[in-house]
Amino acid sequence: MSRLEPSKIRIGRRYRPGRLDNPYDVLVIGSGIGGLTTAALLAESGRKVAVLEQHYTAGGYTHSYDRGDYDWDVGVHYIGDMGRPTDARRLMDFLTEGGVDWAPMDAHFDRFFVGDRVYDAVAGREEFRQNLVDRFPAEAAAIDRYMALLSEIGRAMKPLTLGKVLPGPLRALLWPLLRRRLPECLYRTTGEVLGELTADKDLIAVLTGQWGDYGLPPARSAFMMHALVARHYLHGGYYPIGGSSRIADSMLARIRRHGGEVFTYARVRQICVESGRVAGVMMDDDTRIDCPRVVSDAGAMNTFLRLLGDEERKLTGFDPAASGVTPSIGHLGMYIGLDQTAEQLGLPKTNYWVFPDNDSDGAVERFLADADAPFPAVFISFPSAKDPDFTRRHPGKATIEIVAPAPYAWFEKWRGTTWGQRGDDYDAFKEQLAARMLAVLYERVPQLHGRVDYYEVSTPLSTEWFCAYDRGELYGLDHTPERFRAESLGPRTKLPGLWLTGQDTMSCGVVGAMMGGVTTFAALAGWRQGTRVLRRAFAGWAPAA
């Protein structure tokens, strides 16, 4: 591969104790989309907010980076619900003040290679259904029931979210009533629900072809999570023009305009607790920032197990072993630069999902038991084809991103080493993995032979280093039924002054984490003020006259 001098796209102000403007009303740990959403809404409501991000750039998985002639988004490959005036689009426009434009992908936005068969997901509810019926005519009734279940899950989200927002006494009173509105399938596994609809394994493989978007195959994933993702993309995929850093950049501008700040290189060592309630945070440089309210977007495991002491953690009631919640699997990310444009190379605006066969659960089991087994899923994205602004930024170039699962155990022996200095054996192992991913790419896009100008591979250790996830987990907590039943994973914690936000509060993905930010804001701000701000937020944004 080519050797390019590394460079960085930085968003945020570098932390220095002298740059703090105490006192703050709320401190937010972590600048993922959930943390930024909470901070932006709190700032809108008049609170003075500081966001503390340990990475060199803000934005979490919405941040971008570059290497010489190329740039890549590390986590955003496509987002749904951006082509219509949905709640998600209106909220996104409000938070970014219209600072992000969206380009539609191809109508056939996801392509599933299942063994030697190929299937597409087609944008549009009726088009999606008809495409499935055309491919599986004997399963029309099962497909219709499946579409109805997606709608049931959609209707269940309002009472479910309300249950997370309500304060303790009111929730105890109303939750039994709200729970009656939840469908029976909500907390069952995807495999159980779909197995009752159809025995056609190919159809199940197609319906669950996006399981990589939440990290669990059908036998382990909560059907609620599957349905949320499937609904999210029913009307196709969209890509942020100019790259995903536009999202964080625009949100930072809003936070600052309302008197807040987002600091980078700002690592929090501990959440300070006095007399049974939050009193602030202790930074890595021994600076203490006093504040009675702390919102954590650092992930539930980090928040409860690393940022709190043993006695303080007991106050929260969080017990992973008892509740059955587990960290999600790690991943490999391959970032490829090509020496011709997407148009010249014929790259699609369609994502490719490559599966060895129609049994994803079995493929995962074989892969975890034998590192040489085929990847159970390989996701290939063509960002330079999706982004109409890419050629302006990088004339004559194109990019590809590949994602594949990889357990942290593969990299355990390098734990604690420094990024970029992990030794020749680590680099050699990454090269082996790169060769395997390139083989999958060349099989599906053979015209790319000889066109790769640069590539690099990230591993779960990269996620651990840059995102501070202890096991390099990609999606925070596993999206299992147990995770969604856990009472300790709402925006409120039992420790006064401590709140959670982001993907572990609601669900993974940009919109899932953004909605997690909304629920945290609503719970913290209170009914009257929260409703006033959210009414404006979900009305969208329009430039001042």
Residues 177, 160: Cα–Cα separation, whole Å: 11
List, in order, residues 6 or more apart from 476 with CB less than 8 Å away: 299, 300, 301, 327, 328, 469, 502, 503, 504, 508
Which helix (H) or strand (E) element contains residue 35?
helix 33-44
**Burial of 140 by CB count in 10 Å (0-12 exposed, 13-18 middle, 19+ buried)?**
middle
Low-confidence ranges of the chain (pLDDT < 50): 1-9, 545
Instruction: Provide the 8-state DSSP code for 157.
Output: H
Report helix, strand or coil for 1: coil
What backbone torsions phi and psi does residue 289 show, to the nearest 5 degrees?
A: -110, 110
Of residues 65, 114, 75, the one with CA closest to residue 333: 75
Longest CA pairwise span in the chain (Å): 68
Side chain identity at residue 242, one-letter code: G
Helix and strand counts by DSSP (H, E) for the chain: 21, 21
List for the chain the helix, strand, coil content (%; round to 5): 45, 20, 35
* Other C-beta atoms lying within 10 Å of the C-beta of residue 357: 16
Listed in sequence order, the residues at least 6 apart from 134 whose beta carbon sits closer than 8 Å to its beta carbon are: none
Instruction: Report how far residue 520's alpha carbon sits from residue 40's, in angstroms, rounded to the nearest whole number.
Output: 12
State whether residue 116 is helix, strand or coil.
coil
The CA distances from residue 304 to 35, 56, 310, 314, 407, in Å, are: 17, 24, 9, 9, 23
- Token match 């899932």: residue? 512
Quick one: CA dihedral 367, 62, 381, 432, positive or negative?
negative
DSSP string, 467-493: H--TT--SSSB---HHHHH-GGGSSB-
Would strands 378-381 and 351-355 be described as parallel, antiparallel, or unpaired?
antiparallel
Q: What are phi and psi of 462, to 5 degrees?
A: -65, -40
Predicted local confidence at residue 314, as pLDDT: 87
Q: Which residues of 375-405 are buried (b: 16+ CB within 10 A; e: fewer)?
A: bbbbbbbbbbbbbebbeeebeebbbbbbbbb
| Mean pLDDT, the chain, integer | 93
Question: Is 508 in contact with 214 (CB distance < 8 Å)?
Answer: yes
Taking residue 168's Cβ as centre, other Cβ atoms within 10 Å add up to 9
Question: Which among 485, 463, 487 is positioned nearest to 475, based on CA atoms?
Answer: 463
Which domains are delineated in the chain?
6-99+241-324+486-537 (3.50.50.60)
Helix axes 33-44, 510-525, angle to 10 degrees: 40
In the 8-state DSSP scheme, what is residue 270?
Answer: E
Q: Looking at the chain, how many residues does it have?
A: 545
Q: In angstroms, what is the C-alpha Rg of the chain?
A: 22
